[in-house]
């Protein structure tokens, strides 16, 4: 029997939290990989600003802009019609003013066609989140290690390691829920901090480096497929080594081209021997 996958909705995710059912999100940034995710039971795709690092080769996520993320979002939306798509808001697209944030979040929804937006920060962005939600745009929050503030945080470091910092994370999570976020990413925080935040939230927590107690888990696609080797964070599990397979395939192609064994008969267009003779004779005379 053919598998049927239906795009989940925000009420579905809230119900999953109530019923203690976990769900999964993975990043994707193009049509080809989005179509592969859509063939699985993974419920959500994040068109993350991590594209700046894993797709465009930057050192951090800051350089990517609205137009680029919208372009990538459009491709992912086309490739995964049965998956809930989250559009990441790039650095400085929502910090300047609530009006600008609503305008940019609206662009992400209208132009890319995503199902919600995601932005980083806690208490300090709660009013902005409330303004975007008031405009009818669903918002996913993101606290803990927030890569857009990595310079301020002193690098890509674990957050919430002492009582004061852990308490601040709980305040941030509750402020985002109060502001209307329907789901909150918890990145790189110790297990017990994520556990209590998850217990206190009525909306789902989505962990990345936040342990097993979160309601859902997310990984960056290039990390989980073994396609990004600049560094591998402790929380990443590589479920495949596609980088190695890709290098092997490129090398084999190169080898066969140089040896003259590709293209062979199987990968060439033919005509009958008589027509071939005729073509060769005629064209050579010209």
Give the binding site for ligand KIV (CB under 6 A): 27, 46, 48-50, 88, 142, 185, 187, 208, 218, 220
3-state secondary structure of 57: coil
- What is the dihedral sign for C-alpha 146, 152, 156, 161? negative
Examine the residue annotation and report whether 187 is marked as an active-site residue of this protein: yes
Nearer of residues 88 and 172 to ligand KIV, judged by Cβ: 88
What minimum distance in Å lies between the beta carbon of 144 and ligand KIV?
10
Q: Tell me how far apart the terminal alpha carbons of the chain are, to the nearest angstrom.
A: 59
- Cα–Cα distances (Å) from 55 to 61, 64, 221, in that order, read 11, 10, 11
Nearer of residues 166 and 216 to ligand KIV, judged by Cβ: 216
- Which one of 120, 178, 187, 276 is the catalytic residue? 187
- Strands 116-118 and 23-27, by their bridges, are unpaired
Nearer of residues 43 and 49 to ligand KIV, judged by Cβ: 49
Q: Can you spell out the DSSP letters for 61-96?
A: STT--HHHHHHHHHHHHHH-TTSEEEEEPPTTSSSS
What minimum distance in Å lies between the beta carbon of 43 and ligand KIV?
15
- Shortest-Cβ-distance residue relative to ligand KIV: 48
Nearer of residues 54 and 133 to ligand KIV, judged by Cβ: 54
Let me know the angle formed at the C-alpha of 39 by 33 and 45, rounded to the nearest 5 degrees. Answer: 55
Alpha helices in the chain (DSSP H): 10-19, 31-38, 51-54, 66-79, 98-107, 126-134, 150-153, 163-179, 191-200, 221-224, 242-259, 273-285
How many whole angstroms separate alpha carbon 181 and alpha carbon 197? Answer: 14
Q: Which residue has the tokens 């209208």?
A: 110
What minimum distance in Å lies between the beta carbon of 148 and ligand KIV?
9
Who contacts 240 (Cβ-Cβ below 8 Å, separation ≥6)?
Answer: 224, 225, 226
What minimum distance in Å lies between the beta carbon of 52 and ligand KIV?
8
What minimum distance in Å lies between the beta carbon of 192 and ligand KIV?
21
Nearer of residues 179 and 228 to ligand KIV, judged by Cβ: 228
Which residues are known to be catalytic?
187
């Amino acid at each position: 029997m053919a598998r049927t996958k239906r795009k989940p909705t925000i009420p579905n995710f809230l119900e999953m939290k109530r019923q203690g059912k976990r769900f999964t999100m993975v990043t994707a940034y193009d049509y080809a990989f989005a179509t592969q995710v859509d063939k699985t039971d993974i419920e959500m795709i994040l068109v993350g600003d991590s594209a700046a690092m894993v797709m465009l080769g930057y050192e951090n996520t800051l350089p990517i802009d609205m137009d680029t993320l919208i372009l990538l979002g459009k491709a992912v939306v086309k490739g995964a019609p049965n998956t809930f798509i989250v559009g990441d808001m790039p650095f400085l697209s929502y910090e300047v003013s609530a009006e600008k944030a609503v305008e940019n979040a609206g662009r992400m929804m209208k132009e890319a066609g995503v199902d919600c937006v995601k932005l980083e920060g806690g208490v300090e962005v709660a009013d902005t989140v409330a303004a975007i939600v008031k405009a009818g745009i669903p918002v996913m929050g993101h606290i803990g290690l927030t890569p857009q503030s990595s310079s301020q945080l002193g690098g890509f470091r674990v957050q919430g390691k002492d009582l004061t910092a852990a308490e601040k994370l709980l305040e941030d999570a509750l402020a985002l829920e109060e502001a209307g976020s329907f789901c909150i990413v918890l990145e790189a925080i110790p297990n017990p901090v994520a556990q209590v935040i998850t217990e206190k939230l009525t909306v789902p927590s989505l962990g990345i480096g936040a342990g097993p107690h979160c309601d859902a888990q997310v990984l960056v696609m290039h990390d989980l497929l073994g396609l990004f080797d600049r560094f591998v964070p402790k929380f990443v599990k590589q479920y495949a080594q596609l980088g190695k397979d890709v290098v092997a395939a490129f090398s084999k192609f190169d080898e066969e081209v140089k040896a003259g064994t590709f293209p062979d008969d199987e990968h060439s267009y033919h005509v009958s021997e008589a027509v071939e003779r005729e073509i060769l004779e005629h064209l050579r005379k010209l």
